[in-house]
Amino acid sequence: MNKYICAAIICSLLLMITGCGGEDSGGEEIELTWSTTSGYSPEAPTQAASEHIAGKVREFEEAYPNVELVTEIQNSNIDEAMARILEQADSGRAPDLAAIDSYLLDRYKDYLQPLDDLMKEKGMEEEDFFPFAQDVMKGEDGKIYGLYMGTDTRVMYYNTDVIDTPPETWDELIETANDIQAEGYEGIILPGGRGEGASVTTLWPLFWGKGGELVDDEGNPAFGEGENREIMLEVLETMQRAVEEGALPQRMSSYGAEGDLNEEIAGGNAALFLGGSFQESFLKETLGDDFENWDIAPLPQMEGGEPASTSGGWTWGIFTEDQEKQKAAFDLITDTFITGEAMDALDQLPALSTLYESDDYDGTEFTEKFRESLETEANVRPSATSYRVITVEMQTALSDVIAGNKTPEEALDDAWEVANSN
C-alpha cells in the first residue's frame, strides 16, 4: 500500500512542477504558420476589422496555449504572393495555413488537405455555400480543399430620383444614359481602362451573359476563336456604339478599377454606375442622407444575354498534414472569418449562404439583392495560368476601343495574337 501512496505523492509533485500536464497543458508545443494578407490580419486597415481579428487571435491563443501562431504577411502584390506560396508548396515548404485568392485555388489543390471531416465536426455542409463557391472549393475527387470566406458581386447602382426603371439591356442603358445627360448628369460610369476592375465589372459579365468561355478545358485561351470570338467582338462593338452615341464618356478608358470611379460619384453628377458590392459603404459615407435615393439592379446585358456577374473574394487552404495543426488551423479560420460578425467587421458578403439568416450578421440595405446576385448570377474567373495575359490584353483592348484608338476587330485581334504568343 505504501508504494502506491508514494507513487501518488511523486506524481502529484511532478504535476505541480510541470504545470499539471495532460489536458491542462494543452498538449505538446507546436508551431502553426499562418500566411495571410494584411487585410485579413490584426494589421487590417479599418479599425473594425483590425479589432475583430486581433480579438479572435487572442481568443485562439487562449484556447490553444500550446500553439505558437507564427503570422506571415503576404506581399501586397497578389500575383507575387500567390506565386510564392505555390513555389513553397512545390518544394515542400508551404505554410500550414494560407489565404488564397479564390479564383486561383484550383492551382493549389494537389498540395492542400481535404477539409470534409473538419467541416462535418463544425456542422458545416458543402451545400451551405453558394453554388459558385462550391465549384471553387471542390476538387475533381469531390472533396473540399478550401474554405471560401467573404465574397463580392458586381451590380448597377442608380439614383431612383433620376431613373424610375433601371435599364436591363445595353440598348436601354445607352438610351437612359443619354436621357439623364439631358438633365445634367453624367452618362455611363464604369471601369474601362487597364485594370482588373475593367475585366470583372465591364467585360466578363457581358461575355459570360452570352455564354462565352475565356479558356478551353486545357486552360488555353479560347476567347478569340469561333463563337467566343463573335461574343467578345459584340462586347467591344457595344462599347464602341455607346461612345459613338454619346452615352459612354471616353475618359472611362483611363479608369481600370472600380475605386477609380469614386471621384466621379463623389462629385454628385453620377446618376448610375457599374461597380462592386464593396462600393456601397463608400456611397453611403459620401452621399449622406442622399444615399436613401439609391438602389441597385443586375448589370445590364446585351440583347439576348442572361443575367451574369463576377464574384471574387478569398479562400483558406490548409497545407499541413499534421492533424493537430489542421484542427487548430480550422478553428482559427472558422472562428475568426466564417461568421456573420466577421463579415460585418470586414464589410464583406458571406460566401456561406446560411450566414445571411444568422443573428450575428447585420448586413446592409442592399444585402438581400447582393445575395440574389450571388445565388443566381455569380461567375468566377478561370484559374488557368493563361488568364493573366488574357485579362491584361482584353483590358487594353477595351481601353483602346473606348478611347477610339482601335476598332473592336483590331483590338480583339491584337489581344488574341498576344494571348497566343505566350
Q: What SS3 class is residue 253?
A: helix
Superfamily in which the 26-148+314-347 domain is placed by CATH: Periplasmic binding protein-like II (3.40.190.10)
Does 4 score more than 90 pLDDT?
Answer: no
CA atoms within 13 A on the CB side of 342: 24
Phi, psi of 112 (to 5 degrees): -85, 155
Confidence of residue 422 (pLDDT cuts 50, 70, 90): confident
361 φ, ψ to 5°?
-115, 120
Fold agreement between 26-148+314-347 and 155-310+379-419: yes
> How far apart are alpha carbons 45 and 76 in whole angstroms?
13
Examine the pLDDT at 8 and tell me if it is beyond 50.
Answer: no
The band of 150, judged by pLDDT with boundaries at 50, 70 and 90, is very high
pLDDT of residue 10: 40
**How far, in Å, CA of 113 to CA of 101, rounded?**
17
Q: Band of the pLDDT at 26, cuts 50, 70, 90?
A: low
pTM for this one? 0.91
Domain ranges within the chain, ordered by starting residue = 26-148+314-347, 155-310+379-419
Residues sharing a CB contact under 8 Å with residue 196, sequence separation 6 or more, in sequence order: 256, 257, 391, 395
- What are the CA-CA distances from residue 125 to residues 33, 98, 115, 147, 377 (Å)? 26, 21, 11, 11, 22
Q: Can you spell out the DSSP letters for 76-139?
A: SSHHHHHHHHHHHHHTT---SEEEEEGGGGGGGTTTSPP-HHHHHHTT--GGGB-HHHHHHHB-
For strand 154-159 and strand 147-148, is the pairing parallel, antiparallel, or unpaired?
Answer: unpaired
pLDDT, tens digit, for every residue of 270-284?
999 999 999 999 999
CATH numeric code, 155-310+379-419: 3.40.190.10
